[in-house]
């Protein structure tokens, strides 16, 4: 197919898909996305939700936060997309590449409480964070303020952009001890650390090293206050690695107060592996340059000298182009629909119940040092702890030998983690506590 003719004659585009909800049901009869969704799925009970996952229940799965199993609606969507690509890959891609990602952005935006044009599609938190920082319009003398509790990906993404632009990075400890962290301690430390040179503040919403959930909305108020006394060209931008709160908290991302939000969707969202999102508030778009050319109609038409008479969206400019695992990327909307069917508020409540049960149980075990706060205002679904004198690797191994899939935090100082989510039961939480109690009793 002639690409120029195709683009000219196409009656729909990513831009229109992002503004016309009717396109969600406007796919051709050959599009597997139009296949009817099974209505027999009962998500009204947690037993019904658990039944959607083809997990091996001979082991208690307490590490879904690392990489999730595909629930049936997501697996079915992937299978339909894959079948269509395998049957006629070139024609299927040509027919749907202009609209498929707009449909996904619509579903993501609905779940997030944002505008679809503010959502770029990525392959992971890593990709989103990397293209975010690589695209920042920083210059020598500018400062990025980050924390000592951020992930390797955040640290390296910041290091790379500083090397390229001449900006500097200052990492601070926003709290002294995760066991005793408070909202006032975090906000006060960040407020005191902001300098005249600060242009970006970067934090991690739920930290995989300690399990602490930072008060993002409160931090945003600190930054708003700092910006009130600054000229526009010195504005501070607020970026968040949100992956471990995205899918277990009942929050509109638009209401958190951050300018940028990066998250993989193959963890708590239960999306297809190799998918993610990058959000940018509209008034923060002009601080970011694209890194990877997009495959939407706007950049193509602009390149051909036929740019539409409007400004491109963040989605159009920042979603990395190229050939991806489209059967996965184009099925991400099924994961957001699955989350909305369960109910964002119900998922948050259930996650809180299971994790509070686990943490309170840990507090009652002699020899277990729980690092993560019990208070849901300062924690989410990651629970870090020390089992007497065992290191994290040995603790995880002993759990595995006892039939429980745990994980350890990949940091210089590593802790063992248990991370129950909506696929788990109260009985599994209690069994994990019993195994932990026996473990420390034998040391």
Dist CA 437 CA 106 (whole Å)? 46
Closest by CA position to 54, among listed 45, 44, 64 = 64
Residue ranges of the chain whose pLDDT lies below 70: 1-40
What pLDDT does 302 receive? 87
* Tokens encoding 278: 């990058």
DSSP one-letter string for 385-414: EEETT--HHHHHHHHHHTTEE-EE--SSS-
Dist CA 338 CA 36 (whole Å)? 14
Q: What is the pTM of this model?
A: 0.92
What pLDDT does 31 receive? 54
**191 class by beta-carbon count within 10 Å (0-12 exposed, 13-18 middle, 19+ buried):** middle
Residue 112 CA: distances (Å) to CA of 33, 220, 263, 281, 431: 21, 18, 12, 12, 34
Q: At what angle do helices 344-363 and 426-441 cross, to 10 degrees?
A: 20
What pLDDT does 423 receive? 97
* Cβ count near 88 (within 10 Å): 12
Whether residue 78 contacts residue 69, with contact meaning beta carbons closer than 8 Å, is answered with no
Looking up tokens 């592996």, which residue turns up?
273
Q: At what angle do helices 72-87 and 332-342 cross, to 10 degrees?
A: 160
Which helix or strand (DSSP H or E) is residue 264 part of?
strand 260-264
What pLDDT does 198 receive? 98
Catalogue all structural domains in the chain, each as residue range(s) with its CATH number: 103-340 (3.40.640.10), 344-441 (3.90.1150.10)
Closest by CA position to 235, among listed 246, 224, 244 = 224
């Amino acid at each position: 197919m002639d690409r120029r003719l195709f683009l000219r004659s196409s009656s729909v585009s990513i831009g229109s898909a992002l503004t016309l909800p009717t396109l969600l049901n406007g796919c051709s009869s050959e599009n597997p996305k139009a296949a009817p969704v099974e209505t027999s799925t009962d998500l009204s009970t947690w037993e019904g939700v658990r039944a959607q996952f083809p997990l091996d229940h001979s082991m208690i799965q307490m590490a879904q936060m690392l990489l999730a199993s595909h629930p049936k609606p997501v697996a079915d969507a992937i299978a339909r997309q894959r079948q269509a690509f395998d049957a006629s890959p070139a024609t299927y891609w040509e027919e749907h590449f202009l609209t498929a990602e707009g449909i996904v952005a619509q579903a993501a935006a609905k779940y997030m409480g944002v505008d679809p044009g503010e959502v770029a599609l990525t392959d992971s938190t890593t990709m989103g964070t990397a293209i975010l920082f690589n695209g920042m319009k920083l210059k020598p003398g500018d400062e990025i303020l980050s924390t000592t509790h951020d992930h390797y990906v955040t640290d390296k993404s910041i290091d790379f952009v500083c090397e390229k632009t001449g900006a500097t990075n200052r990492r601070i400890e926003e709290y002294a001890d995760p066991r005793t962290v408070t909202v006032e301690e975090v906000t006060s430390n960040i407020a005191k650390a902001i300098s005249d040179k600060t242009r970006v503040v970067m934090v991690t919403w739920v930290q995989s090293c300690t399990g602490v959930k930072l008060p993002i909305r409160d931090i945003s108020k600190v930054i708003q206050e700092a910006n009130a006394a600054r000229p526009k060209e010195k504005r501070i931008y607020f970026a968040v690695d949100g992956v471990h709160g995205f899918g277990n908290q009942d929050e509109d991302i638009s209401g958190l107060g951050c300018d940028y939000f990066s998250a993989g969707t193959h963890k708590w969202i239960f999306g297809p592996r190799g998918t993610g999102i990058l959000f940018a508030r509209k008034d923060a778009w002009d601080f970011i340059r694209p890194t990877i050319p997009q495959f939407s109609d706007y950049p193509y038409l602009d390149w051909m000298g036929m740019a539409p008479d409007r400004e491109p969206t963040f989605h159009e400019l920042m979603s990395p182009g190229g050939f991806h695992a489209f059967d996965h990327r184009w099925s991400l909307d099924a994961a957001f629909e699955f989350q909305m069917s369960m109910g964002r508020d119900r998922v948050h409540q259930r996650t809180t119940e299971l994790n509070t049960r686990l943490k309170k149980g840990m507090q009652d075990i002699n020899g277990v040092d729980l690092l993560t706060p019990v208070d849901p205002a300062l924690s989410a679904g990651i629970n870090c702890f020390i089992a007497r004198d065992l290191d994290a690797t040995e603790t995880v191994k002993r759990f595995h030998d006892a039939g429980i899939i745990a994980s350890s935090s990949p940091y210089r100082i590593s802790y063992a983690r248990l991370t129950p989510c909506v696929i788990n039961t109260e009985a599994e939480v209690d069994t994990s506590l019993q195994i932990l109690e026996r473990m420390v009793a034998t040391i």
